[in-house]
Amino acid sequence: MLSIFRALACFIPRSATDTPLSGHTDLPQCDEKKPHCTKCVRHSIECDFASPAASTSPDRTRRFRFRPSKYQPGSRTSSPSTRTEAVTSSAASASTGVQCDLAGSALSGGISFADLKLYHHFVTSTYKTLADEKVDHKRVWSHHVPQWGISFPSIMHLILALSALHLAHEDPASRTQFIAQADDHFTFGVRSVSAVLCLLNTENCQLIYMSAALICLVYFGRGPRRGEYLVFSDVGRSEWLILLHGVHSIVSQNHDRVFTGVLEPIPDDSIGGVSDELQAELDEHLQQVQQVQAFILSHVTDETSRTLFEAAISDLLWAFEEVYKMRSAGKDGICLMHLVVGWVYRLRAEMISLLEQKDRYALILFGHWSILLVYQRSSWLMQGWDVHVLHGVRTSLGEEDQQWLAWPIQVIEGGVPTHSTSIL
């Protein structure tokens, strides 16, 4: 089955007080202007929250309508009313005024041609970067997710956000435009799924889960952020952890209902042992982690803390071995997500707390985990994260412990250990 589903299925809750999907501090704020907020007007869609009923009872008689977009040439400076009139008056010569009959859709308002471009890119290109098509026999990303987006606004907005980020990666010259589109759709996607979380039930749990999973993918695709290092940050709690806790909150309460049907995991029979070519490389990694293990356990005397570190280190050794089995089968990038990210979410809450407090031993261990991110570089979603996370560890670790990062630095940066002066 798709590695992202296996990754999200193994998440472990950190605290019963975590609020799902509520911790993203960079979301543009809604100004709540009536009858439509400024963000909805700028994005050329009807406001999802123009009426109280909109967030709880989707009107399935609505139809998609093609609307002008601020991303279309000549429409960026015109008012919403002017743009609408222009579309209507040109209906005879252009297709922008034609009604798109998608009756039964829950996505309110209209969609622009800029959005259609994003949707087309997702179903023809982006989906291929999210799955190993050889084992995606149920066509989750190529068929079901785009289809779910037709009837579930959160998924539609989030796949458009992911598509825009993918285009930004492929076309750097238009990056600013695509990032703006991605941010807009991400805002609406988060708002939409937050509005229906309280209505989670058997019928919609897979859709809400997929929305939450897409939110996390968009976070990765947006790229590393200054001061945010996945598990810890320079100020406050890590945004990524809060988002992923929201995913687990859904999974933990609805595991059997989520991972059934098209989302039911399927074992990959192509995975075997570690190849002879990679065994020596793996052995060197294991030896380095074992040296870290000896160092930590020689300094940590509290029995509870020792047990905590022993479990985390043992699991990291296992993760390295499993990653190398996958690599031996020719799989990397997104295919490794369930192993790389899975290690972090199998950590006990106490270990997460130590990382948030920037405990020296926890940071050294986390620095060695960041090596696994190297083997995800082939995925556009994960590019830059290995260097960024290691940078966060290095700048948070005391001078006397920098030597313990020599191996991760060598693997990730491909050079001798030096103190970084750059800010990512």
Dihedral pair phi/psi, residue 111, rounded to 5°: -120, 145
19 inside domain = no
Please identify, among 264, 284, 306, the residue that sits at the C-terminal boundary of a domain.
264
The residue with greater pLDDT, 70 or 6, is: 70
276 shares a domain with 185: no
pLDDT at 381: 96
287 inside domain = yes
H runs (alpha helix) in 37-104 = 38-42, 80-89
Q: Model confidence at 113, in pLDDT bands (50, 70, 90)?
A: confident
275 shares a domain with 253: no
Amino acid occupying residue 328: S
Dist. CA 379–CA 356, nearest whole Å: 27
98 inside domain = no
The residue with greater pLDDT, 110 or 278, is: 278
pLDDT at 198: 81
Whose tokens are 């289809």? That residue is 147
Please identify, among 264, 294, 310, the residue that sits at the C-terminal boundary of a domain.
264
Whose tokens are 């859904």? That residue is 250
pLDDT at 89: 38
277 shares a domain with 320: yes
Q: With 70 as the cut, is the pLDDT of residue 215 above it?
A: yes
pLDDT at 423: 29
Q: Which residues contact 181 (CB under 8 A, 6 or more apart)?
A: 71, 114, 118, 160, 161, 164
The residue with greater pLDDT, 201 or 407, is: 407
Instruction: Give me 279's structure tokens.
Output: 């065994």
Max mean pLDDT range (11-15, 93-97, 161-165):
161-165
183 shares a domain with 227: yes
Which secondary structure element, helix H or strand E, spans residue 354, and what is its range? helix 349-356
353 shares a domain with 260: no
pLDDT digits (tens, 9 = 90+) for 241-281: 887 677 767 877 888 888 889 898 888 888 899 999 999 99
Handedness of CA 322, 326, 332, 333 (dihedral sign): negative
The residue with greater pLDDT, 228 or 252, is: 228
- The residues facing 65 across adjacent strands are 99
232 inside domain = yes
Give residue 148's Cα distance to chain centre. 18
Q: Model confidence at 10, in pLDDT bands (50, 70, 90)?
A: very low
351 shares a domain with 244: no
- Which residues form the domain of 208? 113-264
Whether this prediction's pTM lies above 0.85 is answered by no
Question: In whole numbers, what is the pLDDT of the chain averaged over residues?
Answer: 78
90 inside domain = no
pLDDT digits (tens, 9 = 90+) for 18-65: 334 444 434 445 666 666 666 665 554 555 555 444 444 444 434 445
Inter-CA distances, 63 with 51, 109, 259, 296, Å:
18, 8, 31, 61
Q: Name the nearest CA neighbour of 313 among 356, 243, 361.
A: 361
Torsion of CA 371, 396, 18, 14, to 10 degrees: 50
247 shares a domain with 152: yes
Q: With 80 as the cut, is the pLDDT of residue 306 above it?
A: yes
- The residues facing 67 across adjacent strands are 112
Burial 255-282 (b: 16+ CB within 10 A, else e): eebbbeeebeeeebeeeeebeeeeeeeb
pLDDT digits (tens, 9 = 90+) for 317-344: 999 999 999 999 999 999 999 899 989 8
Rg (CA), the chain: 23
Q: With 90 as the cut, is the pLDDT of residue 355 above it?
A: yes
Instruction: Give me 396's structure tokens.
Output: 């948070």
Dist. CA 213–CA 100, nearest whole Å: 29
Max mean pLDDT range (10-24, 53-67, 233-247, 389-403):
389-403
241 shares a domain with 352: no
282 inside domain = yes
Q: With 60 as the cut, is the pLDDT of residue 203 above it?
A: yes
pLDDT at 58: 42
Which secondary structure element, helix H or strand E, spans residue 229, and what is its range? strand 228-229
Instruction: Give me 164's structure tokens.
Output: 């825009």
74 inside domain = no
339 shares a domain with 205: no
Q: With 90 as the cut, is the pLDDT of residue 119 above it?
A: yes
Maximum pairwise Cα distance, the chain: 79
Please identify, among 198, 233, 264, the residue that sits at the C-terminal boundary of a domain.
264
Ranking 91-105, 343-357, 378-392, 400-414 by mean pLDDT, the lowest is 91-105
CB 271 within 8 A of CB 326: yes
Q: Name the nearest CA neighbour of 341 among 64, 3, 54, 28.
A: 3
Q: Name the nearest CA neighbour of 45 among 80, 79, 72, 78.
A: 80
Supply the DSSP symbol for 97: G
257 shares a domain with 313: no
Q: Model confidence at 177, in pLDDT bands (50, 70, 90)?
A: very high
334 inside domain = yes
The residue with greater pLDDT, 179 or 35, is: 179
Burial 179-209 (b: 16+ CB within 10 A, else e): bbbbbbbbbbbbbbbbbbbeebeeeebbbbb
pLDDT at 21: 45
- Provide the domain count of the chain: 2
Q: Which residues contact 172 (CB under 8 A, 6 or more apart)?
A: none
Dist. CA 404–CA 318, nearest whole Å: 21
CB 4 within 8 A of CB 135: no
279 shares a domain with 234: no
Inter-CA distances, 51 with 46, 48, 57, 108, 119, Å:
11, 8, 10, 12, 27
227 shares a domain with 355: no
Dist. CA 241–CA 14, nearest whole Å: 9
Q: With 60 as the cut, is the pLDDT of residue 69 above it?
A: no
Q: Is 174 exposed, middle or buried (0-12, 13-18, 19+ CB in 10 A)?
A: middle
pLDDT at 128: 94
